[in-house]
Amino acid sequence: MEFEPAIVAIERARTFAQLSAILAEWRDASGLAHIVYHATHVPAVDRPNPVLLLTYDEAWVKRYIAQDYFLIDPVVIAGRAGFLPIDWLNVDHQTPAARHFFAEAESHGVGRHGFTSPIRGPRGERALFTVTSNETDRHWHRWRHSYLSDFHLIAHYLHDRAMEIAGLRADPAMRPLSRRERQCLRQVALGRTPGEIAHDLKLSASAIRLYLRSACRKLGCATVEQGAVTATVLELIGPDAIN
């Protein structure tokens, strides 16, 4: 699967239905079992779990909501409390409630393996982005190491777009650039290509392109070159190449 077209599709989405369709296409193209975006807490909304975008079987979704499994799902519990990515193998499987929950989830085709990335948004919102698989242990671990960093980056694009569609990103003020975004823009200003930047920072080329796209979006620039110039003029990137 190519990630940059997925980013473009996310940016063009105007409804939750369109975002859900993107997840389904993304799942099929990646050979995954399911993909889930779950906003667990948004300060501007007075109810929990305000946004759910998922590819699970409808019967499982209805069952999950009806039983309020948000309260006992070991992955959701771990994601709410932590900041680090979560391999489902490392959450609670021992208590009776957890064993029952995972057995029921598996019966609905949720997936043998799962990986969840917690998201912390700029306005205090919290969300979880999950991918699941029915592949063998060997295939799953190989796939994880190859692609999960890219999926984690795209999760933040998806989160931003979901918040915008929900009307929770109305503040037009420019969001600050992350350290990685500043690094990449500074390297572009020095004439480096994404491939060269990836080598210098020991990241994938696709990760570099996503950081640059994110920076340009924050700056309101159409091209990477414009982004580098704008960041320089606004003194957002300093003379040190590792700024």
Per-residue pLDDT, 82:
84
pLDDT value at position 241?
Answer: 41
Q: State the average pLDDT over residues 128-142.
A: 92
Q: How large is the average pLDDT for residues 175-199?
A: 91
Confidence at 84, pLDDT banded by 50, 70, 90: confident
Q: What is the pLDDT of residue 232?
A: 87
Q: In angstroms, rounded to a whole number, what is the distance separating the alpha carbons of residues 74 and 110?
A: 14
pLDDT for position 28: 92
* Residue 243 pLDDT > 70: no
- What are the residue ranges of CATH 1.10.10.10 in the chain? 179-233
Predicted local distance difference test score (pLDDT) of residue 242? 42
Q: Is the pLDDT of residue 7 over 90?
A: no
> How much is the pLDDT for 1?
56
Q: Residue 43 pLDDT > 70, yes or no? A: yes
Say which residue, 104 or 121, is predicted with more confidence.
104
> Residues 4-28: what's their mean pLDDT?
90
* % pLDDT > 70, the chain: 94
Q: What pLDDT score does 2 carry?
A: 63
| Statement: residue 115 has pLDDT above 80 | yes
Q: Is the pLDDT at 174 greater than 80, yes or no?
A: no
Distance, in Å, from the CA atom of 11 to the CA atom of 26, rounded to the nearest integer, reads 15
- pLDDT at 137 > cutoff 70: yes
Confidence of residue 239 (pLDDT cuts 50, 70, 90): low
pLDDT number for residue 169: 65
**Mean pLDDT estimate for the chain:** 88
Percentage of the residues of the chain whose pLDDT score is greater than 90: 56
Sequential DSSP letters for the chain? --HHHHHHHHHH--SHHHHHHHHHHHHHHHT-SEEEEEEEE-TTSSSSS-EEEE-S-HHHHHHHHHTTGGGT-HHHHHHHH-SS-EEGGGS--SSHHHHHHHHHHHHTT--SEEEEEEEE-TTS-EEEEEEEE-S-HHHHHHHHHHHHHHHHHHHHHHHHHHHHHTT-----SPPPPPHHHHHHHHHHHTT--HHHHHHHHT--HHHHHHHHHHHHHHHT-SSHHHHHHHHHHTT-S-SSTT-
CATH topology of domain 179-233: Arc Repressor Mutant, subunit A (1.10.10)
The ranges of the chain annotated as CATH 3.30.450.80 are 3-165
Domain 3-165 fold is Beta-Lactamase (3.30.450)
Q: What is the pLDDT of residue 44?
A: 84
Q: Is the pLDDT of residue 222 over 70?
A: yes
Higher-scoring residue by pLDDT: 84, 69:
69
Written in H, E and C, the secondary structure of 159-220 is HHHHHHHCCCCCCCCCCCCCHHHHHHHHHHHCCCCHHHHHHHHCCCHHHHHHHHHHHHHHHC
